[in-house]
Amino acid sequence: MATWNSRGLRGSTLEEMINRTNEQYREKGLALIQKVPTPITPVRMEKESRRITLAYFDQKSTVDYIGAVQGIPICFDAKECATESFPLANVHEHQIEFMKDFEKQEGLAFLIILFSGADRLYYLPFYDLMKFWDRAQNGGLKHFKMSELNDTFCLQSRAGVLVPYLEGIQRDLTVRDIRKGRE
């Protein structure tokens, strides 16, 4: 059974950036995205502050965020990595299955990855995540390098938007349209 403690706050910087971006997108009427809470059961609390110091997860989480962008259902997970190599162990099989099912329902699934050591932020489309995932499942590398990612999906803060993932979504949709045209 997984437990939560202070290590559970890893990635909170990226999540705060995404939460602020989501607020901006909502204020502008561009998207409605919500953070999916992970249900926990407290085990130990500090009496004075009523702060949870130890808890266990009630169930496996799916993804960090879910919502709609201009009528398109989206779901995504936020991940941080200190090196330029992203371990696929940071993505769980139940998350892959959820994103796969979400895509079958004509939704758009992706990861937002912050390579904090290189200070680079990427939108990773689900189809690219699946290439790396399948490679690992078939005995290949259990990670991927930042250099393997398509630089057109590198996100750069602009006009006060910290994580401009709408740009990634637009590129993702364009690539999907091109792929459909080839079928």
Q: Can you list the pairs that 161-165 forms with residues at least 24 positions away whose Cβ atoms lie under 8 Å? A: 161/21, 161/24, 162/17, 162/18, 162/20, 162/21, 163/14, 163/17, 163/18, 163/21, 163/112, 163/121, 164/21, 165/18, 165/21, 165/76, 165/110, 165/112, 165/123
Closest Cα partner for 86 from 14, 141, 10?
Answer: 141
Cα–Cα distance for residue pair 16/13, rounded to 1 Å: 5
62 is in an annotated binding site: yes
86: three-class secondary structure by DSSP: strand
Residue 41 labeled ligand binder: no
* 53 carries a ligand binding annotation: no
**Which residue type, as a one-letter code, is found at position 99?**
M
177 is in an annotated binding site: no
Within 10 angstroms of residue 126's Cβ, the number of other Cβ atoms is 21
Annotated binding residues for Mg(2+): 62, 64, 77, 95
Annotated binding residues: 62, 64, 77, 95
